[in-house]
């Protein structure tokens, strides 16, 4: 990160808090909804369509830099399906953002040099090889692991793992935890929820409340024991105490962090319906669009990136300490 990016972002964010205006301090770009894996709990590929071209995304990145964005995430879909991903990564790095990339890792081995400039790279795993392949397709585990090893051999960026939690793997989460320990990286656990506006057949392995609580009791114990569970204590306690509904109407999504869809529409949260009338980002002056984005109307959730971001922007010291350690 460039110091001036941090200083500019801190200034914009401070002004926003004082004036009550929005400030997109954190932004996630879903550069595509296409994916080469079709997990039953994700309907993003069914919504794939128009995508901003390389030049427009670069204008968006430059505009976000001027507007005070500090953290920039790139995700999908599978972002490595875009041939220009390396160009977009370089454009983000030139702006001085703290950058992260989320990928399923299957194409990572052959393109590691293109994305090596990001600060953090996160890959999703479901468990051991048979369990992972059962969800994502034959050979998925091998391809992902080869990609992770390629990143390690290159010496960066910093790696992390994400594990979706559902009824199919809830009893065996020690497997992805051991994989994280073998790689020497942190792992974040994410209960699967069905997205509002879901299309297609419902996912049959959604975890119920009892399953989620049992999982989080184990996660909290693992974290206390010093194992590499990345979820903050603020997030773990929220779920364990059954207080996820407390986020309804208070979540800072849409105010301090947003998601930009592949065609330029802006949503507070990717778990909300992708309505056609969502505002579209002004590539050259994103702050103009920020005034058109409302807070999410929902019942609260357990989507880890959003909940953790909410706690950070709510100045919860447990979430801030966790983010700083990561």
Res 35 pLDDT > 90 = yes
pLDDT at 107: 95
CATH of the domain at 264: 3.20.20.70
* DSSP H stretches of helix in the chain: 3-19, 54-67, 85-95, 112-115, 129-136, 140-154, 174-183, 209-224, 233-240, 286-290, 304-313, 317-325
Domain that holds residue 23: 3-325
Model pLDDT, residue 1: 64
At 52, the pLDDT band (50, 70, 90 cuts) reads very high
User: pLDDT category, 294, cuts 50, 70, 90?
Assistant: confident
Residues pairing with 253 in the sheet: 257
End-to-end CA separation in angstroms for the chain: 15
Place of tokens 């009824």: 167
Residue 165 has which token pair?
A: 């939690």
Give me the mean pLDDT over the 244-249 stretch: 80
Buried b (16+ CB within 10 A) or exposed e, 151-170: beeeeebebbbbbbbbebbb
What is the tens place of the pLDDT at every residue in 83-93? 999 999 999 99
pLDDT digits over 72-112, tens only? 999 999 999 999 999 999 999 999 999 999 999 999 999 99
Number of folded domains in the chain?
A: 1
Average pLDDT rounded to a whole number, residues 20-45: 94
- Residue 157 pLDDT level (bands cut at 50, 70, 90): very high
Q: Which of these, 210, 214, 199, 256, lies nearest to 70 by C-alpha position?
A: 256
- Beta bridge pairs of residue 260: 29, 266
User: What is the arithmetic mean of pLDDT over 137-163?
Assistant: 94
The values of phi and psi at residue 38, to 5°, are -125, 75
Q: The sheet that has 266-267: what strands, in order across it?
A: 186-191, 158-165, 120-124, 98-103, 71-75, 26-30, 257-260, 266-267
Residue 123, C-beta contacts closer than 8 angstroms, at least 6 positions apart: 102, 103, 104, 105, 108, 144, 147, 148, 159, 160, 161, 162
Q: What is the pLDDT of residue 106?
A: 95
3-state secondary structure of 264: coil
DSSP state of 38: -
For the whole prediction, is pTM greater than 0.75? Answer: yes
DSSP string, 126-159: -SSHHHHHHHH-TTHHHHHHHHHHHHHHHT-SEE
Segment 50-64 shows an average pLDDT of 97
Q: What is the mean pLDDT of the chain?
A: 93
**Percent of the chain residues past pLDDT 90, beyond the cut:** 73
């Amino acid at each position: 990160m460039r110091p001036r990016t941090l200083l500019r972002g801190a200034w914009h964010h401070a002004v926003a808090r004082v004036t009550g205006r929005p400030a997109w301090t954190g932004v996630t770009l879903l550069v595509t909804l296409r994916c080469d894996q079709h997990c039953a709990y994700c309907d993003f590929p069914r919504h794939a369509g128009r995508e901003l071209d390389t030049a427009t995304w670069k204008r968006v990145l430059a505009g976000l830099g001027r507007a005070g964005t500090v953290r920039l995430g790139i995700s999908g879909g599978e972002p490595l399906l875009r041939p220009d991903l390396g160009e977009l990564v370089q454009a983000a790095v030139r702006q001085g953002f703290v950058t992260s990339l989320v990928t399923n890792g299957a194409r990572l081995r052959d393109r590691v040099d293109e994305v090596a400039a990001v600060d953090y790279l996160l890959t999703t795993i479901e468990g051991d090889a048979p369990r992972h392949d059962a969800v994502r397709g034959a050979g998925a585990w091998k391809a992902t692991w080869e990609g992770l090893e390629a990143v390690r051999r290159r010496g960066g960026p910093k790696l992390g793992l994400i594990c979706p939690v559902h009824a199919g793997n809830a009893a065996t989460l020690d497997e992805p935890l051991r994989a994280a320990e073998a790689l020497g990286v942190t792992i974040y656990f994410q209960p699967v929820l069905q997205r509002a506006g879901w299309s297609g057949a419902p996912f049959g392995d959604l975890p119920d409340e009892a399953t989620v609580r049992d999982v989080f009791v184990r996660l909290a114990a693992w974290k206390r024991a010093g194992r590499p569970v990345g979820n903050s204590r603020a997030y773990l306690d929220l779920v364990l105490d059954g207080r996820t509904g407390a986020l309804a109407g208070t979540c800072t999504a849409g105010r301090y962090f947003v998601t930009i869809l592949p065609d330029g529409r802006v949503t507070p949260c990717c778990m909300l319906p992708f309505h056609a009338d969502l505002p579209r980002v002004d590539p050259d002056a994103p702050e103009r669009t920020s005034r058109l984005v409302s807070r999410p109307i929902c019942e609260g959730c357990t989507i880890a990136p959003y909940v953790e971001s909410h706690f950070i922007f709510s100045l919860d010291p447990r979430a801030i300490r966790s983010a700083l350690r990561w």
